[in-house]
């Protein structure tokens, strides 16, 4: 029987409840066999993160431990070249059966940035795209995505057919949390309890991450 695999890439700097709760709800709603969180090594569009790749990976591993629907995939950290999403999808797809369904989860902000991505128009060769809302984001997609949406979007995400090729918008509990917010709070010496899992919080404190550095 065809499997249903989801992937959520990101810097996870650090992983937070917006990622985790969204991923879990999508995994349940879409009846995925597995949803893999894929930390990026050298994100092509972002400034270098403050935690190391190994630390970001360790936090994602702690976050999903004991949750059978979620898994961690470290393939982007094993590469020595930039981790383009297209390459990751091609690599994951190469390990699946031809009729397995692959779903790429993108937050709305990431989806809106799609036209700047390497080979973005070919992503749908390998996967379907599920767009997650972000409560703090604009509501209009960029002009460059209009034709793609007109040609490929499907109203009901549960109606996505075949291994790849379509786009749907998916509802999940809106959580206006970002890694930027988590880092800002920590830099101000404030608590991020309940914005990240307790195990991640303990790791952040144990490794003294994201604190504003003082000269004293
Ligand atoms: P930063 O604040 O550092 O930009 P981030 O919180 O957006 O980070 P990323 O690791 O860049 O986190 O996000 C990975 C993916 O998860 C992206 O597709 C992003 O849109 C999505 N995402 C992140 N936070 C949320 C959230 N609160 N709700 C829905 N999707 C989210």
- Each domain of the chain, given as residue ranges in start order, spans 4-175
Residue with the smallest CA separation from ligand 1 atom 30 is 107
How confident is the model over 98-124, as a mean pLDDT? Answer: 95
| Pocket, ligand 1, Cβ cutoff 6 A | 8, 10-13, 18-19, 22, 106-107, 109-110, 132, 134, 175, 177-180
What is the model's pLDDT at position 79?
A: 87
Atom 7, ligand 1: which residue's CA is nearest?
Answer: 178
| pLDDT for the residue 130 | 98
- The whole-angstrom separation of Cα 213 and Cα 216 is 9
CA of 30 to the centre of ligand 1 (A): 20
What is the pTM assigned to this prediction? 0.93
Which one has a higher pLDDT value, 99 or 211?
99
Q: Give the burial class of 77: count Cβ atoms within 10 A of its Cβ; 0-12 exposed, 13-18 middle, 19 or more buried.
A: middle
- CATH number for 4-175: choose from 1.50.40.10, 3.40.50.620, 3.30.565.10, 3.30.70.3270: 3.40.50.620
């Amino acid at each position: 029987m065809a499997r249903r695999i989801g992937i959520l890439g990101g810097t996870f700097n650090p992983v937070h409840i917006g990622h985790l709760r969204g991923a879990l709800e999508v995994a349940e709603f879409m009846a995925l066999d597995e949803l893999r969180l894929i930390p990026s090594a050298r994100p092509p569009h972002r400034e270098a993160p403050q935690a190391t790749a190994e630390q970001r990976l360790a936090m994602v591993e702690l976050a999903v431990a004991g949750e059978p629907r979620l898994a961690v995939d470290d393939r982007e950290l094993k590469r020595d070249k930039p981790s383009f999403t297209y390459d990751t999808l091609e690599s994951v797809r190469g390990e699946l059966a031809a009729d397995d369904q692959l779903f790429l989860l993108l937050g709305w902000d990431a989806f809106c940035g799609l036209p700047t991505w390497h080979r973005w128009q070919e992503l749908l060769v390998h996967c379907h795209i599920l767009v997650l809302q972000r409560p703090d984001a604009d509501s209009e997609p960029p002009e460059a995505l209009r034709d793609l949406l007109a040609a490929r979007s499907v109203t009901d995400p549960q109606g996505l057919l075949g291994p790849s090729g379509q786009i749907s918008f998916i509802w999940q509990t809106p959580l206006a949390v970002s890694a930027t917010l988590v880092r800002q709070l920590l830099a101000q010496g404030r608590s991020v309890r309940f914005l990240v899992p307790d195990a991640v919080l303990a790791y952040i404190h144990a490794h003294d991450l994201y604190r504003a550095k003082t000269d004293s």
